[in-house]
Amino acid sequence: MLDAKQHQGKFGEDYVRVLASAAGLVVLKEDIDVDGVDLGFRATGRYGRVFSPMIEAQVKTWSKPTGPAGSLHYRGLDEWQFNQLAGPDFSVPRYLFLICVPARSADYAASRPEGILLRHLGYYVSLRSEQQIAQPDRRRTRPVVVPMVNVLTAQALRRLTESPTDW
């Protein structure tokens, strides 16, 4: 049996995998996480001048989201993790996917006559315009503001993947 933290993290990744499946994307998983990337997403075929565009994401879960109206203020990234997402120097666009989940794991999903309901919502943010931290310390956290208009849906995930120039 998974402990509570493992369970929450696995649910977050699986939540995003469901969206990718609904979007018709290929999901990629590194054999080990040495670069701060949890999952990659690839569209198949040609999009403009690009074949098989892709993005990468670090997936985080949060059971007690807070922030002023219109945004979430996530404080769960350490400085090293932040640097793995921040700045413009990545060859593949990177995002933070923040999946807000219920406090009780029993509430993660519910079966309804019309289908399965996954709770709650996911959000995304690019840290491309953020400055990396010169001497990152894993013991310090770096807050990140995630706009609540950036709801992670199957359509949004497909758009992010197909349009890396929008990054």
Question: Residue 96 pairs with which residues in a beta bridge?
Answer: 58, 125
Domain that holds residue 23: 4-166
pLDDT of 167 above 60? no
Q: What is the pLDDT of residues 119-133, one digit of tens each?
A: 999 999 999 999 999
3-state secondary structure 66-109: CCCCCEEEECCCEHHHHHCCCCCCCCCCEEEEEEECCCCHHHCE
The predicted model gives 99-122 an average pLDDT of 97
Q: Crossing angle of helices 4-23/154-162, nearest 10°?
A: 70
pLDDT of 17 above 60? yes
Q: Which of 98, 94, 166 is CA-nearest to residue 130?
A: 94
Q: What is the pLDDT of residues 64-80, one digit of tens each?
A: 999 999 999 999 999 99
The values of phi and psi at residue 124, to 5°, are: -135, 155
If one compares 9 and 165, the residue with the highest pLDDT of the two is 9
Domain count, the chain: 1
| Entry pTM | 0.95
Residue 115's domain is classified under what CATH number? 3.40.1350
